[in-house]
């Protein structure tokens, strides 16, 4: 299983080489993408591009719109400049390239996961979500929890929270039957400072996202104005979510409880 921290690191690489044109449209240069995807020769990478273009055409989508070719000047060792071929790729084009890349490369698998989610609209439908792989679901849910936690922190700050470790642990204790973030990390066998949210399955992430969004909503609705009340509210919401998980059925509750052990086992096998 791909670790979310690996996807985060790879996605940062993709975002670092992203360009914005004069119309505010994002694009990537193929030769820059080639390096990140660990291709050494342009000839080999262009074969992948051609396969991606075929896939685009077979889907009835304009190849020219997503794979426009450009000419660039490149300096050689003697400072001489020659004209070389390149492509201005859309995000969708990058996704197709990743899908047609060398599947033996781990970075290709990471790129497939990243672009599969990023090429979809911001809020995907339930049908689209069910079609995602588990790694894609984890990436999607992790992105939502990251944004949710940021928004929750802003609301908690306005509610008077200063000790955010205490505040977040209150929520974890409610959801995880008394466990703090450190307790959860130890149970998952994580290293120091390794993020527990980066090591959760999609269902566990969804449960935490529900805890996050409902806590923020309650802080606003009840006009919470002290740190103690905010922590008590977070803890209460965590318990409510935990109870809902148990009521959803024994199998689901067991899968939620032991998903961390499964992730650890998979990592050890690699």
Model pLDDT for residues 64-122, shown as the tens digit of each residue: 989 999 988 777 667 777 888 999 998 888 888 988 888 778 788 777 767 766 655 44
Maximum mean pLDDT: which of 10-24, 93-107, 126-140, 244-258 = 93-107
Tokens read off for 43 = 């000839």
Tokens read off for 18 = 């992203």
Q: What CA–CA distance (Å, rounded) separates 107 from 117? A: 16
Q: What CA–CA distance (Å, rounded) separates 108 from 85? A: 23
Look at residue 123 and tell me whether its pLDDT is greater than 80.
no
The pLDDT mean for the chain works out to 81
pLDDT band of 176, cuts 50, 70, 90: very high
pLDDT in tens, 216-251: 988 998 999 999 999 999 999 999 888 877 776 644
pTM: 0.54
Return the number of other C-beta atoms located less than 10 Å from residue 232's C-beta. 14
Sheet of strand 19-20: strand arrangement: 19-20, 26-29, 81-89, 69-75
Q: What CA–CA distance (Å, rounded) separates 67 from 91? A: 10
Q: What CA–CA distance (Å, rounded) separates 95 from 109? A: 11
From the centroid of its chain, how far is CA 256?
Answer: 20
Distances (CA, A) of 27 to 11, 30, 131, 193: 14, 10, 26, 34
pLDDT band of 269, cuts 50, 70, 90: very low
| Cβ partners under 8 Å of residue 200, min gap 6 | 138, 142, 208, 259, 260, 263
168 within 8 A of 232, measured Cβ to Cβ: no
Strand partners for 85 = 71
């Amino acid at each position: 299983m791909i670790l979310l921290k690996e996807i985060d690191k790879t996605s940062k690489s993709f975002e670092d080489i992203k360009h914005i044109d004069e119309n505010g449209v994002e694009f990537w240069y193929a030769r820059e993408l080639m390096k990140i995807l660990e291709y050494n020769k342009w000839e080999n990478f262009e074969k992948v591009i051609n396969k991606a273009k075929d896939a685009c055409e077979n889907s009835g989508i304009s190849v020219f719109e997503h794979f426009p070719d450009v000419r660039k000047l490149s300096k050689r060792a003697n400072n001489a400049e020659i004209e070389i071929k390149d492509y201005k790729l859309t995000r969708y084009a990058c996704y197709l390239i990743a899908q047609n890349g060398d599947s033996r490369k781990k970075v290709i698998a990471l790129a497939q996961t990243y672009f599969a989610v990023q090429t979809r609209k911001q809020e995907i439908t339930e049908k689209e979500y069910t079609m995602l792989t588990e790694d894609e679901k984890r990436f999607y849910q992790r992105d939502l929890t990251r944004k949710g936690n940021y928004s929750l922190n802003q609301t908690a700050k306005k509610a008077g929270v200063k000790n955010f470790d205490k505040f977040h642990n209150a929520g974890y204790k409610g959801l995880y039957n008394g466990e703090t973030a450190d307790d959860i990390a130890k149970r998952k066998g994580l290293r120091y400072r390794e993020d527990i949210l980066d090591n959760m399955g999609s269902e566990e992430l969804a449960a935490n996202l529900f805890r996050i969004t409902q806590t923020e909503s309650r802080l606003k609705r009840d006009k919470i104005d002290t740190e103690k009340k905010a922590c008590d509210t977070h803890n209460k919401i965590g318990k409510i979510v935990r109870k809902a998980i148990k009521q959803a059925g024994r199998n689901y509750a067991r899968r939620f409880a032991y998903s961390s052990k499964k992730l650890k086992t998979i990592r050890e096998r690699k």
